[in-house]
A and B are shown apart, each in its own frame.
Chain A
């Protein structure tokens, strides 16, 4: 539709609308008018109007649902004969909207139900396509689409013959049982049960009163699977309680919550007050009501579900219900005891994750969430939190903004990973905050405070995500935050998780801006956290100071590098350093590496491009240094991290490039961070956000590379061998991390033991950091192993298929097939 507007007419309109035109060129106005009226004459054909109305259905809160629904349905059936394009278009659009804008599904269903009273054929057309789509999505393992189509089907229950949707749900359940009995770690079965439970409420809302027994039977069956704690859940728990804390209650799995919530709905006659029922007409409209009641019923074509179902493109994990607004004095989001919590959340999550290609629309749907649920489900938009307690009991205290923001946070804090890159969820929140700052910003503020209060027992990976989102968000809103309320925490020891958060946040803010700017946003007490080196754009070159050992050599090498001297000219200086180092009882390789790398960094200090060019030119010598000894390898990293100590972001980027050039191996970085640097700082390094970032990025780099290879359709024997070697070194990497981190977590680390000044508080902090790190990388290791297992199975399957095809004596076809898979 946007293309339409960009046509020449669109351009000209823009021109005419400019101020200049309007005020100065009066005579042209009638030209403008003529065109305006011509446009009015070309009333768009019905299929265009219906498309437009369907697309924006339910978006206008001022328009009663039944009116809107009836007007679209009648426009459709009235023009049934005159516009043949319309029928197919209508069906296709309804199906498309159901999977693209799922908040609108009940409203679309209502239009179909009303249309059914005049043109019953349309439902048959729709059902035929719907069934075909469901089957196709099941085949691909696109479970979300399956769920969304079933939701549409569920809303149409009242016009279906026989048991309607129930046979499909029962069939799905029998697959779930098979899968769950086969393996306790199965996730597809769990997903199927979740789909069944999320479909059920819509059936009950669409055809009230009739299906209670059927529903009860089904829920009796799902109970065993839904209530059984999932083997993988411990891995993805967002909170990581400290040992001392009496084990704070673990989060609930979504599926378990759903089962219990629906059970209480069933006991309550399936009231489901939050679900919209746009197919209900006011009693006054007797004609429409009776037409709906007596409309044609349709047989649902059978849906075949293959015996073995597939997991689909996205790895499935059990889901945990996460909320940043739990335990408040007034309930600003539905409590986890009501079905509304899961039903609204589910619809919002689908919207958020499907609509990643237009965050502006995501944000609008988030802000207008109250349009898509029953009236009075929510309090008025933008009601301040403090006012919620004045709301009289039967009325809702749920703040639509809180519910919406909570849904986004549940994705941002989803382990192991949400569907999209984290920055999408940042962007969605930014956009929502831009659209309705007065409503959204206070909700975000309360979320931030909640997370900050709980930062000490948040999983460390999530702690880091919080930091990243927080600083990024502030960068979009002028870096304003009420830092004064955390001022007491500035005086906490650096090892305290909240202090670590503050330091990390300031560093990240500075990276997106610059030190002086951020300093201006911080209250007095925070000022000294912005250290002098952070304010320098380019770090000092330590060899400019004659008191630094090897100052002359350092300057000489820098000068040689600057004039792009040949390596032979540098070698003598390096040899001189070696000799001097030996005289002074220093490790010659470490010493020369430090001087050389620091000089390279210095001549590249102007920008990342400069340093990359400098590294490129000295690649050979750097590679040799990295290969010379463990100590020299570590010294490269030490030199980078020291030189750019005031700008850890730059240091991390440089190390990343050194990894790309294979000047450093991932194990060198891990070893440097977790053993050497952590040792030198007596564990303090574990509390620094940028050290975690360095390690995390390094691990992700390794695992991403392995995943890419593992996902290839077939590997040549050489590839296979290389892949196996890579997998081996990944395992070694994880086990080295395990060893180092276990030592920190248990207090067995030499540096912790030999520290004569026994400081129990300090030691407890460090052990805790060790535990938190350990949990993150154990999870990563487990996830990668699970991935490799699955990818291996997939590959074997493909190889087997290919071999079978070759057995048929048609080699050429094999190639084609493999490519298709790729």
Chain B
């Protein structure tokens, strides 16, 4: 059984997101430890186009299928995503303590105004607690939102800040759906809309007098 593929997928495995990041790193697209693209997830975060070079990705991954030193083997930290901007540390504590005592909690902050931006890192004392959290808490609700958890090799200073252009998480830049808990529409979209609105207002002001006459 041990070593055999389970008959049912396990929920305490790192996500595809993590695996992609790791293989990116293994290929050496960016220097390890570079902090240029600091952020909530992994230090190396070159934007990659999905496409042919994905193949290479997979081949490299297959070559060292079981990496000699799996950075998550004893991971006690979890990345927690899809939080509402309004969710407090205390709420996170209340829920995540159900899997074991929390050693440290780091709230993800907007890089510029230092307000919560919808993610956090939860560190437990034991690896088992972190795995249990993946299995029992990831994908359940906190503050009425489905949250996601991912095993994480450990918090490093700088990663508490959003990597998005405007300071929050990248996903909140171009989000097309309106998410009240995360500041409405994506910030870049809001910006664009504000511009458009301003232009329209200018136009309307120009033809303000025509308006009533036509109908």
Contacts and interface: CB of A to CB of B under 8 A. Distances in A.
B10 interface: yes
Interface stretch (A93-101, A217-225, A482-490, A580-588): A93-101
A424 interface: yes
B98 interface: yes
Interface residues of B, number: 38
B135 A96 contact: no
Nearest to A479: B144
A356 B135 contact: yes
A6 to B, nearest CB: 5
A609 B92 CA distance: 12
Contacts of B113: none
B60 interface: no
Contacts of B90: 511, 607-608, 647, 649-650, 653
A367 to B, nearest CB: 15
A609 B11 contact: no
B58 interface: yes
B4 interface: yes
19 contacts: A1-B9, A8-B54, A11-B50, A96-B1, A96-B4, A99-B1, A357-B6, A357-B10, A358-B11, A359-B135, A422-B98, A423-B98, A427-B136, A468-B98, A514-B91, A607-B89, A608-B93, A650-B90, A653-B90
Interface stretch (B73-81, B99-107, B166-174): B99-107
A421 B55 contact: no
A511 B94 contact: yes
A360 B9 CA distance: 10
B204 to A, nearest CB: 32
Given A513-B143, A608-B105, A653 B93 contact: yes
B55 to A, nearest CB: 6
A428 to B, nearest CB: 9
B58 to A, nearest CB: 6
Contacts of B58: 7-8
A357 B94 contact: no
Contacts of B135: 356-359, 424, 427
A475 B107 CA distance: 21
Contact of B91 (A97, A356, A358, A511): A511
A108 B12 CA distance: 28
A476 B54 contact: no
A512 interface: yes
Nearest to A476: B141
Contacts of B50: 11, 15
Nearest to A660: B101
B205 interface: no
Contacts of B8: 100-101, 355, 357-358, 361
A101 B9 contact: no
Contact of A513 (B16, B91, B93, B107): B91
Interface string B28-49: 0000000000000000000000
Contacts of B191: none
Nearest to B143: A513
Interface string A397-438: 000000000000000000000001111101100100000000
B98 A472 contact: yes
A559 to B, nearest CB: 23
A608 B95 CA distance: 14
Interface string A283-304: 0000000000000000000000
Given A8-B58, A513-B91, A609-B107, 8 more contacts: A11-B54, A100-B1, A101-B7, A424-B132, A512-B95, A512-B143, A513-B143, A649-B93
Interface in A97-136: 97, 99-101
B109 to A, nearest CB: 11
A609 B89 contact: yes
Contact of A421 (B10, B98, B143): B98
A368 interface: no
